[in-house]
């Protein structure tokens, strides 16, 4: 098995290497690929030195799997070139997610849709992944009618430069890195990605459309407000979900506790609930603050937290690769 990591020097790319090592993914060859400015640099992985390769080199090497985290434009240009060589591309950008010919996959939920014919597979948006991980078992049991979600997202979701901006602002540096249109430290920006004509941001519409695609139900109503906050460690979400069927709160808890990859942290009397500071470096999706919405029937409130670089990006991508290998969908 020959695996390429495209975008290996970025935040998510570095996390992918950690996940590959932690999960002891077996491979014969590993190719680390990045932008032209990084080509030739050395990276140590599992006590072995690897030289960063160019896109052109990597395509010609025709790896079995290429895990991309290099941005949408790069993916649109290069993923088809890899696929033409028979490489299965797992792409972390938004480029292919809503393409009707491409699968959008969270392995625990809809891995069953994958076939050996899928050469470009989309990794969902980080905030969508953690939400559907918690909602999928509830949708199967009670059928979701409508979701209202507000997110509170880590600066790591924007990348290294955003983390630098926050840290410089924290140090009182006024002429440093500028990624966001406003100060981020000690602030909250209701603005993730660009604004669309309908008043929503691209990030908000990703949550709407991707949720329906992953859960395979276009009837679900979804409305979203996404907010960037000065946190590192994970994204947090306040989710209000209305079901078609009545639910039992005890059963909801049991369903979530029995869902692989989900951890219930809900002991408010002892101040136990999910927080991004505790999710950092973890692969699980943490759920708490489970309670009925007392303003209308069949409606649940919940709080969902997960490390956006892990399950929200790197871990899910590696899990897709593992699924493909386990099911012999890749040679």
For the chain, what is the HEC assignment? CEEEEECCCCHHHHHHHHHHHHCCCCCCEEEEECCHHHCCCEEEECCEEEECECHHHHHHHCCCEEEECCCHHHHHHHHHHHHHCCCEEEECCCCCCCCCCCEECCHHHHHHHCCCCCCEEECCCHHHHHHHHHHHHHHHHHCEEEEEEEEEECHHHCCHHHHHHHHHHHCCCCCCCCCCCCCCCCCCECCCCCECCCCCEHHHHHHHHHHHHHHCCCCCEEEEEEEECCCCCCEEEEEEEEECCCCCHHHHHHHHHCCCCEEECCEHHHCECCCHHHHCCCCCEEEEEEEECCCCCCEEEEEEEECCCHHHHHHHHHHHHHHHHHCCCCC
Residue 11 pLDDT > 90:
no
Determine the Cα–Cα distance for residues 250 and 163; give it in Å rounded to an integer.
Answer: 40
Q: Mind listing the pLDDT tens digit for each residue in 257-272?
A: 999 999 999 999 999 9
Residue 125 has pLDDT above 80, yes or no: yes
Q: Which residues pair with 243 in a beta bridge?
A: 144
Pull the structure tokens for residue 288: 């708490």
Whether the CB-CB separation of 14 and 42 falls below 8 Å is answered with: no
Question: Which residue's entry shows tokens 């942290």?
Answer: 265
* pLDDT of amino acid 129: 98
127-308 has which CATH code?
Answer: 3.30.360.10
Using the structure block, give the residue that is written with the tokens 């809809």.
110
Whole-angstrom distance, CA of residue 22 vs CA of residue 223: 36
pLDDT tens-place string over residues 192-233: 999 999 999 999 999 999 999 999 999 999 999 999 999 999
Q: What is the pTM of this model?
A: 0.95
pLDDT at residue number 320: 97
Q: Please give the distance of CA 108 from its chain centroid, rounded to a whole number.
A: 14
Instruction: Supply the residues annotated as catalytic.
Output: 126, 235
Cα 44–chain centre separation = 25
Every domain of the chain with CATH number 3.40.50.720 lies at 2-124+313-326
- Could you read off the pLDDT of 126-179 as tens digits, one per residue? 999 999 999 999 999 999 999 999 999 999 999 999 999 999 999 999 899 999
pLDDT tens-digit profile of 244-302? 999 999 999 999 999 999 999 999 999 999 999 999 999 999 999 999 999 999 999 99
Q: 331 pLDDT exceeds 80?
A: no
The ranges of the chain annotated as CATH 3.30.360.10 are 127-308
> Directed axis angle between helix 126-142 and helix 202-215, to 10°?
40
CATH domain 2-124+313-326 topology: Rossmann fold (3.40.50)
- In contact, 282 and 238? CB cutoff 8 Å: no
Mean pLDDT calculated for residue range 27-38: 94
């Amino acid at each position: 098995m020959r695996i390429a990591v495209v975008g290996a020097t970025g935040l998510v790319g570095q996390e992918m290497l950690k996940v590959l090592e932690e999960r002891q993914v077996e491979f014969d060859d590993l190719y680390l690929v990045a932008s032209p400015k990084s080509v030739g640099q050395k990276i140590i992985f599992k006590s072995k030195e690897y030289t960063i390769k160019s896109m052109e080199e990597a395509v010609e090497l025709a790896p079995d799997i290429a895990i991309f985290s290099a941005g949408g434009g790069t993916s649109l240009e290069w993923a088809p070139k890899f696929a033409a060589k028979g490489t299965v591309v797992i792409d972390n950008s938004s480029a292919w997610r809503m393409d009707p010919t491409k699968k959008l996959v969270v392995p625990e939920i809809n891995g069953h849709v994958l076939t050996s014919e899928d050469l470009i597979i989309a990794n969902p948006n980080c905030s969508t992944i953690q939400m559907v991980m918690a909602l999928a078992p509830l949708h199967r049991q009670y059928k979701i009618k409508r979701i209202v979600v507000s997110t509170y997202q880590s600066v790591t979701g924007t990348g290294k430069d955003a983390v630098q901006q926050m840290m410089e602002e924290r140090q009182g540096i006024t002429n440093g890195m500028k990624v966001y249109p406003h100060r981020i430290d000690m602030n909250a920006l209701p603005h993730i990605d660009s604004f669309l004509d309908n008043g929503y941001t691209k990030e908000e519409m990703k949550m709407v459309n991707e949720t329906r695609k992953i859960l395979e139900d276009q009837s679900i109503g979804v409305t979203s407000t996404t907010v960037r906050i000065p946190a590192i460690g994970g994204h947090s979400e306040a989710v209000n979900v209305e079901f078609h069927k009545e639910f039992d709160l005890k059963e909801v808890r049991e369903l979530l506790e029995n869902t692989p990859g989900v951890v219930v942290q809900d002991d408010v009397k002892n101040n136990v609930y999910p927080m991004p500071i505790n999710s950092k470096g973890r692969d699980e999706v943490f759920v708490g603050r489970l309670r009925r919405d007392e303003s209308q029937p069949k409606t649940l409130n919940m709080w969902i937290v997960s490390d956006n670089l892990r399950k929200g990006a790197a871990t899910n991508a590696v899990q897709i690769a593992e699924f493909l290998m386990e099911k012999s969908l890749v040679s």
